[in-house]
Amino acid sequence: MALWEGRFKKELDSRTNDFNSSISFDKAMYKQDITGSIAHAMMLGKCGIIEKEESEKIIDELRNIFNDIKNGKLEFDMQAEDIHMFIESELTKRIGDTGKRLHTARSRNDQVAVDLRLYMRDEVKEIIELLEQLIEILLRKATENYETIMPGYTHLQRAQPITLAHYFMAYVEMFKRDISRLEDATRRMNINPLGSCALAATTYDTDRYLTSKLLGFYEPCLNSLDGVSDRDYAIELTSAFATIMMHMSRISEEFIMWSSHEFKFIELDDAFSTGSSIMPQKKNPDITELIRGKSGRVYGDLMALLTMMKSLPLAYDKDMQEDKEAIFDATKNVKMCLFTFIPMLDTTTFLKENMLNAAKKGFINATDCADYLVKKGLPFRSAYKITGTIVGYCIDNDKTLDTLSIEEYKDFSSLFEEDIYQAIDLKKAVCDRTVVGGPAPDTVKNHVEKIKEYLENRHS
């Protein structure tokens, strides 16, 4: 029998029950539900809304229920409508009428809002830890590759020389922004909806500041209608998750290309790649492909939340029960992707020779050749045009800017001298880019130091 049976004359149709029920997925929030209930019971006791002894009895038994679920001694009853009903029924089963007092001055509407905020707060903490681990690995890889020259790309065409360290640090910036987005949204989320009750708060003299303190919220929400109907935090955080996935899909895409024979910039560790059932030569970058695929799924979760909330009249509507599966799916997948990507990155071998060779062949020092002419007095556009003609000549004659003789150079402009070879040297081209944000080894070292400080400050 449902807890709300009083008003009803008929048993619930089993199809309605199955359709309505959320226990199959919201059981994932049992810890948060019990935590919220314990805080509520403490407050009820403290405010004299229920007897002190009854409050203590409820709290003790809630703790027992928590341990029993955790240790597999208590199974979820799939006939319960949701996790909130299940815990409350179990409590009443165990301690009788006292258990029935827990739901005083509370509704499942504020209860589920609390649970979800607590749940997301826990998940975000784990995701931030994973992002920090990822940044640490990227940072270490950067310190090993200050001088590793590789082609930088635009339009996937070799463009200008960078270093592998410079490349890694680009992703460090992205994942750093992801952390900041998560923290920012969490700050806004960390407000207590408990005490909003069904929608219009309560006539009991509850202490919402106390439950806020007990649950680690900054303060109670200031409007009970908003308290039970707000899911902005779910949307904001899932948007941040989607952005993390977008970043991971970009590095994944690069790793997929780089592990191909056409690029051959990296060699994935055997433990983090898979073979083909038919083609013996294959070593597939499945992990990165799955990450790329799963990013679509997390975007879908965000879209589900946005669409679910669209046009919903205040305050609570059952549509909102749909929030949980989207949130669970998004958090689970982001964690899984980070968890697998981190050791995969850590064990990847970077084929520095191949990167350098690709850099040598791509005319990526053409800009430096033009800049050379500019430094000799030519306007940039004229220098650009001459260099373009030289590149065309090189392509037609199977040469590179390095292998072109000084006589050939002089045919294009008398400004060319022997020092052109120095100017177009890849190492010099990288080392001269010392401007903040550039790939010069010392500049990247400064960046790495800043990030080390950032990580240390986060942990102090």
Which residue numbers are catalytic? 155, 276
Closest CA to 225 of 190, 254, 201, 204: 201
Using the rule CB under 6 A, give the single segment among 46-54, 304-312, 314-322, 435-443 that binds ligand ARG: 314-322
Using the rule CB under 6 A, give the single segment among 233-241, 246-254, 315-323, 435-443 that binds ligand ARG: 315-323
Within 107-136, the residues that bind ligand ARG by CB under 6 A are 108-109, 112
Using the rule CB under 6 A, give the single segment among 37-45, 173-181, 284-292, 316-324 that binds ligand ARG: 316-324
CB of 22 or CB of 238, closer to ligand ARG: 22
Contact between 234 and ligand ARG by CB under 6 A: the answer reads no
The total number of residues shown for the chain amounts to: 460
The binder of ligand ARG chosen from 30, 272, 316, 350 (CB under 6 A)? 316
Rounded to whole angstroms, the Cα distance separating 158 from 85 reads: 60
Rounded to whole angstroms, the Cα distance separating 329 from 318 reads: 19
Cis amide linkage into residue 330, ω under 30° from 0:
no
Q: Rounded to 5 degrees, what are φ and ψ at 401?
A: -65, -25
Within 7-36, the residues that bind ligand ARG by CB under 6 A are 22, 26
Rounded to whole angstroms, the Cα distance separating 285 from 358 reads: 21
State both tokens at 290: 């799955």
- Interacting residues of 301 by C-beta distance below 8 A, sequence separation 6+: 238, 241, 242, 326, 327, 329, 330
267: Cα separation from own chain's centroid: 26
CB of 119 or CB of 350, closer to ligand ARG: 119
Per-residue contact flags (x/-) with ligand ARG for residues 140 to 179, judged by CB under 6 A: ----------------------------------------
Rounded to whole angstroms, the Cα distance separating 73 from 65 reads: 9
Using the rule CB under 6 A, give the single segment among 33-41, 175-183, 313-321, 408-416 that binds ligand ARG: 313-321
Per-residue contact flags (x/-) with ligand ARG for residues 83 to 112, judged by CB under 6 A: -------------------------xx--x
- Using CB under 6 A as the binding criterion, the count of chain residues that bind ligand ARG stands at 10
The binder of ligand ARG chosen from 104, 321, 354, 382 (CB under 6 A)? 321
CB of 88 or CB of 207, closer to ligand ARG: 88
Please report the beta strands in 155-248, taking only residues with DSSP state E, as ranges in sequence order.
157-163
Residues forming a β-bridge with 302: none
The binder of ligand ARG chosen from 33, 82, 90, 368 (CB under 6 A)? 82
Contact between 192 and ligand ARG by CB under 6 A: the answer reads no
Q: Rounded to 5 degrees, what are φ and ψ at 379?
A: -65, 150
Q: Which H or E element spans position 150?
A: strand 149-154
State both tokens at 296: 């679509």
Contact between 326 and ligand ARG by CB under 6 A: the answer reads no
Q: Which residues bind ligand ARG (CB under 6 A)?
A: 22, 26, 82, 108-109, 112, 316, 318, 320-321
